[in-house]
Amino acid sequence: MNRILCFAVAGLLAGSAAHARVKLVALPERARVVVSLNNPDATLVEEERIITLQKGVNKVDFSWRGVNIDGTSIQVRALSHPNDVKVLNTSYPPNENALVWEISSPAAQEERVRISYLLSGLTREVTYRAVAEPNEKSLALRNYLRLHNNSGEDLTDAEVSVGYGSNFKKTIAHEEVLEMLSERIADLPIRKLLTWDAASQPWDPEYQKNTVGIPLSYVITNDKPSKLGTHTMLPGKVRIFIKTKEQPTREGEQVGEGVAFTGEDWAQLTPVDREMKLFIGQSRDVKVTQRKTKDDKTNIRRNSGNNIVLNDTDEIYKIEIENFKKEPVNLVLVEHVPGYWKMIENSHAAQFKKKDAFTFEYNLTLPAESTGEKKTTVTFNLNRLNVQGNEPASF
Amino acid sequence: MNPVLSAGEKVRKWAGEILPVPTRTLSHLLTCCLAALLVFSVLTPQSAHARINVVTLPDRDTVQLTIYNSADLTLVKETRHLTFKKGINKLEFSWANTLIDPTSVEFRALTHADEVEVQDVSFPPRVANTLEWRINSEFAGDVTVEIRYFTSGISWSADYVCEANRNETQMDFAGAVRVTNNSGEDYENAQVRLVVGVIRLVQEIADLARAGKPGGTPTTLAAQTAPPAAARALRMEAFGAMATADKLAAAQPREIVKEGVSEYFMYTVEGRDTIPNGWSKRMPSFKTDGVPLTSYYKYEKERWGDQVIRFYQFTNSVANKLGKEPLPDGAVKAFRFVSDDLLYAFVGRTSVKYIPINEFVELELGNDLEVSVKPTLMDWQKTDLQFNASGNVIGWTTKETWEIEVQNSKDIAVVVDIRRNFSGDWTLTTQQQYENVDKTKVKFVLPLVPRAKQKFTYELVTRHGTNATR
């Protein structure tokens, strides 16, 4: 092991103790270690040690080797006698990871000091594991913090603070990876959602060789009713399982409870009150067919060269949706229109929602087994206005 | 005539004759080698070649370092006692393994100044880092002299620690100065003065130092800066010397006296310090508790993308418990107390520019995930089209409706500053209060209570082509 966090105190009153870097008087153990991970860019370590000070000026030597400490960040604070014990100056020897504090004390006494520094190499990762109920109305969510310690330092009985929830007391050695449960939420309500986006899905499945799957998501809202909403949810991998019945393997056994994996996604950074949408797979039991049934140019204006310089459009879209499932399904249809447009007629005005200038959605609930005659049909008629062909489609 | 030196020094006569001398420390001998100073008579004809035999000098009485932070420049002033004879005296000064600018070395007598005059100064051939003064003295006896020169390799910087309270309404603000000595020379028990300000240099001191003599060819940096092994030994000894001096000092941090000089500001560190070659030393400069603070958040897509950036704002004024001095540029680390026993949360680190007295300061401390701003374009229209004689579109007007959602997920109140940039001939309509920063930028400032969400909208009309009037 090529790492040392060395700590030495030398009183200056004895003439021979002047060379503090060599003569170690005490090597105090850490009394407390707090690791703060609040700031995603830096890990702050605060450690407390009890040192014995002599009356007068003491030299306290702090050195490290093989530990990724930002030397410019090291600070010391006196905790027992903060008004009397003073740091006079700090000296940095050449070509060494070390510093020497000169600390004055009005009396020979024990002092609890807190040393703070920024440590690199201690990286964190957030992962989530969720088990959904068979009805897919709720799930149990567990949030894990995974620490990778490549800092060179063994953190023993460290209080780890992530900025929310209570602190953990853990020991994590150099080169160790430690995963700990940081949050557990039972019965977290979820919305199961299929999303058909006109920009990314094929419009007519009949012309596709393979079955067109429709992206399936679970939506979690980071708010109080969902037993969340206390802090921004950090990005990380979410693995979702669903409860299943475990069939007996031998005669006489009861039907047990097990889980099946239903998919995984990367959770996005989700502030309080926002939705976390986890795309976990595809549904093949819902079929969406979108067709444009009218696309006329109107109010055409030409220049002297007889080229069209401006026109409006009259467009009609028809979307037929079949649900082959035995349960109702939530489906979001996402439509995109560039430039300046107006909705003229809309079969599902109550389900219509303009998301931004160039996007609107229909939030539909498809009845169970709504196929054939019972299929859902959405139509809308819109006009695009003052079209020149250079209209924005995003912002 | 034999060398004339102050009493108590080790003396070696010209022809190698050694006189009994008091014992000196290793430290002292090495200092002699690094910056040797010798007075000798010109009456001995072979004196010009005697240089190599010289190992002796009068000790420095005082050393003062004036260190600039804007350039690699330190003004060194040292005083020594010399014994002159009447007539011409020769004085040799050499500085191997240091970064002294030979064109800057100056001599003046502090006592008997009107009787001691420099006739000329010679940089002898085939000898590097050495000069000789020919000094005419009308006085025989002890003279206090000052030798002044520039050296490179000593630098200083300021740094600050900001400890905000839990609500981020106040902070304890502490400044420190850090002096680093890589000059090749140990300046023992020196008075340290630090200059804040920008001075002009037409040539780098380090280049002049490497030249060895005025107009000389620079040698490699390594040859000049790498101290010999002996210098390292000296450094260790010097540290011991510092410790001895310090144990006698009062057990209080040294006061740093601040004064304005022309366009500069000078910090004088109380007492004397030794910063051996290769070492650096950080000393507290000031600490003020309870400085009023504003936690201010800024959003400007063109500058930081989707991120909201946190700033700590304060004013360097007397009303805000500061304002006693300008604050030199330097690194800042900001913490927030998060527990009753004063544990820290690390807020961020940044650097500040030079802060004059009464200047308003913003410390940029990075992204905060718990404050968010989300602008959405909700509607876009193109109207009022104009055509030229050929029937082509030459003018049009767009109308954008924006919705801005601002959210504070923190337990403390914050202020959010949202900047929007518009180009061309635009008109803004909104119920929300705003301020024009300039002709292309507006600023919305929203105070948000803890855990609050706010939405506002604005309409932006922009006239294009011939519709534009500005």
Q: Give residue B43's pLDDT.
A: 42
Window 422-461 of B: residues touching A by CB (8 A cutoff) are 451, 453
**How much is the average pLDDT of B94-116?**
91
Q: For residue B28, with 0-12 CB atoms within 10 Å meaning exposed, 13-18 middle and 19 or more buried, which class applies?
A: middle
**How much is the average pLDDT of A237-260?**
86
- Please report the beta strands in B294-370, taking only residues with DSSP state E, as ranges in sequence order: 294-299, 309-315, 330-337, 344-352, 360-367
Q: Do A38 and B380 touch (CB under 8 A)?
A: no
Contacts of B159 in chain A (CB under 8 A): 72
Query: Chain B closest CA to A120's CA: distance in Å?
Result: 13
The closest alpha carbon to A63, from A153, A170, A158, belongs to: A153
Pairwise CA distance, residues B38 & B53, whole Å: 11
What the block records as the tokens of B130 is 């050495």
Contacts of A302 in chain B (CB under 8 A): 391
Report yes or no: A335 and A359 within 8 Å, Cβ to Cβ: yes
Query: Chain A closest CA to B53's CA: distance in Å?
Result: 33
pLDDT at A166 over 80: no
Alpha carbon distances (Å) from B141 to B9, B87, B89, B138? 15, 12, 12, 10
For A393, which residue in chain B has the nearest alpha carbon?
B380
Query: Mean pLDDT in chain B?
Result: 81
CB-based contacts of A257-262 (< 8 A; 24+ apart in sequence): A259/A131, A262/A132
Pairwise CA distance, residues A243 & A259, whole Å: 4
pLDDT at B431 over 70: yes
Question: DSSP letter at B222?
Answer: H
- Scan for tokens 């000064």, then name that residue: B93
Task: For A10-36, write each residue's pLDDT tens digit.
Answer: 654 433 333 334 333 455 778 899 999
Mutation target vs B (from A272, A306, A336; most B CBs, 10 A cutoff): A272
For B241, which residue in chain A has the nearest alpha carbon?
A18
Q: Give residue B441's pLDDT.
A: 97
User: Is residue B96 very low, low, confident or very high in pLDDT (cuts 50, 70, 90)?
Assistant: confident
Range with lowest mean pLDDT among A18-22, A97-101, A118-122, B168-172:
A18-22
User: Is residue A369 very low, low, confident or very high in pLDDT (cuts 50, 70, 90)?
Assistant: very high
Total-model pTM:
0.81
Question: DSSP letter at B209?
Answer: H
Q: Do A271 and B369 touch (CB under 8 A)?
A: yes
Contacts of A358 in chain B (CB under 8 A): 377, 380
In chain A, what percentage of residues exceed pLDDT 90? Answer: 71
Contacts of A80 in chain B (CB under 8 A): none
Nearest to A73 among B333, B345, B409 (CB): B333
Nearest to B346 among A118, A340, A391 (CB): A118
- The ipTM, to two decimals, is 0.86
Task: For A192-222, write each residue's pLDDT tens digit.
Answer: 999 999 999 999 999 999 888 999 999 999 9
Helix (H) or strand (E) holding B210, with range, is helix B205-211
Query: Mean pLDDT in chain A?
Result: 89
Task: For B182-196, write each residue's pLDDT tens digit.
Answer: 998 888 889 999 988
Phi and psi, residue A123, nearest 5°: -105, 155
The closest alpha carbon to B128, from B209, B201, B199, belongs to: B209
Q: Give residue A26's pLDDT.
A: 52
Contacts of A234 in chain B (CB under 8 A): 369
In chain B, what percentage of residues exceed pLDDT 70? Answer: 80
CA A210 to chain centre: 34
Report yes or no: A361 and A353 within 8 Å, Cβ to Cβ: yes
pLDDT at B228 over 70: no
Nearest to B453 among A116, A273, A301 (CB): A273
Query: Chain A closest CA to B436's CA: distance in Å?
Result: 23
Task: For A75-91, write each residue's pLDDT tens digit.
Answer: 999 999 999 999 999 99
